[in-house]
Amino acid sequence: MTAATANTSSLSWYEAGARQRIDALLDPRSFSEFIGPEQRETSPHLPIFDLPRQFDDGIIVGRGRLGGLPVLLAAQEGRFMGGAFGEVHGAKLTGLLRAARMLGQNVLILFDTGGVRLQEANAGELAIAEIMRAVIEARRAGVRVIGLIGGRAGCYGGGSLIAGTCSSLIVSEQGRISVSGPEVIETNKGVEEFDSRDRALVWRTMGGKHRYLIGGADIFVDDDASAFRQASIEALQCQARCDLPMIEAEQRRLERRLKHFGEANDAVEIWQAVGIDKPAEIPGLPTEEYLRRAADKRENADDAR
């Protein structure tokens, strides 16, 4: 591999920006961007709201190499508009996925998003639908679409639905995956339903450790760019079929989850039902010990995603 010398220093995935993540993830100097910031393809809609624009509209798309293999890559910038999907932002990812299908090249999506950008909500919503369709069409052509989740903005709303179409997901403890965010649930259903200020509740309901234990993610890593890199190299080797047997297996997997855990009131109850030893300790465990306890117990989604 050409990459052995690179990316050895530690970098928090959670703290890093999108461009830092790309540099740390891919083989050195292998990345090139499509429609980079110098082209100034900004949102035509944010000025209506007197909001600042960013020259890449909060997403970077391009190609590079990972462990010597060619990949296409998209990275969301959670620090711009919460990484939300607007018209230009979404279209860049749609275009990349359509190319992936034509080229038969694997795709990495570095999610960092609160969901649809409300200032361009209709365009953002349609972008999500177009992206999901493009993911499935690419997967039908044999392409792996790998999602990496561990950014500051998490992976919320429409972003979490796109994640649900990926062939594999890599997640860190910080990687929250959820359709309705804590504030949205609290605003609509009251603080009794969900107290968004209860951070421990947020992490154990939506965070990476819970998702990995119930089969909502495939690989659990430290909050470290080199760990995400190693996991991505591993994920590129996974099977990624997208056909009737896969969707039937997923149906059985999700039905089983409802049957076994559908009455649970809290994640700790689910972890107990999964068979985890001393489940209340899960949130505080370091990665190695967490993975040791999860091994052979967690629900997996192999060939069922």
Which residues inside 103-142 make contact with other proteins, applying CB under 8 A? 103, 116, 118-130, 132-134, 136-137, 140
**Candidate list 53, 92, 144, 209; residue touching other proteins; CB under 8 A:** 92
Apex CA 276: angle with CA 270 and CA 281, to 5°? 90
**Candidate list 69, 99, 236, 291; residue touching other proteins; CB under 8 A:** 99
**Candidate list 22, 23, 27, 33; residue touching other proteins; CB under 8 A:** 33
179 binds other proteins (CB under 8 A): yes
**DSSP secondary structure letters along 231-284:** HHHHHTTS----SHHHHHHHHHHHHHHHHHHTT-SSHHHHHHHHT-SSGGGGGG
**Candidate list 52, 70, 104, 275; residue touching other proteins; CB under 8 A:** 70
State which residue, 133 or 152, has the beta carbon closest to other proteins. Answer: 133
CB 68 to other proteins: min, Å: 13
Can you tell me the distance from the alpha carbon of 34 to that of 44, in angstroms, rounded to the nearest whole number? Answer: 19
250 binds other proteins (CB under 8 A): yes
CB 10 to other proteins: min, Å: 27
98 binds other proteins (CB under 8 A): yes
Of residues 40 through 59, those in contact with other proteins by CB under 8 A are 41, 44-45, 48-49
Can you tell me the distance from the alpha carbon of 143 to that of 103, in angstroms, rounded to the nearest whole number? Answer: 9
Count of residues that bind other proteins according to CB under 8 A: 92
CB 123 to other proteins: min, Å: 5
Look-up: residue for tokens 């689910």? 270
State which residue, 10 or 39, has the beta carbon closest to other proteins. Answer: 39
Of residues 141 through 160, those in contact with other proteins by CB under 8 A are 157-158, 160
Assigned token pair, 69: 């293999």
Do residues 148 and 232 touch, judged by C-beta distance below 8 A? yes
Size (the chain), residues? 305
Q: What is the DSSP letter of 116?
A: B
Q: Between 181 and 210, how does the x/- string for binding to other proteins read (CB under 8 A)? A: ---xx-xxx---xx----------xx---x
Q: 159 Cβ partners below 8 Å, 6+ apart?
A: 76, 83, 85, 111, 113, 114, 115, 128
Can you tell me the distance from the alpha carbon of 228 to that of 171, in angstroms, rounded to the nearest whole number? Answer: 8
Range in contact with other proteins (rule: CB under 8 A) among 1-9, 18-26, 245-253, 285-293: 245-253
The SS3 of residue 109 is strand
Residue 136, judged by CB atoms within 10 A of its CB (0-12, 13-18, 19+), counts as middle
**Candidate list 1, 4, 191, 264; residue touching other proteins; CB under 8 A:** 264
Residue 106, judged by CB atoms within 10 A of its CB (0-12, 13-18, 19+), counts as buried
Phi, psi of 295 (to 5 degrees): -55, 140
CB 208 to other proteins: min, Å: 12
Look-up: residue for tokens 């190499």? 65
Of residues 158 through 177, those in contact with other proteins by CB under 8 A are 158, 160-165, 177
**Candidate list 1, 68, 199, 255; residue touching other proteins; CB under 8 A:** 255
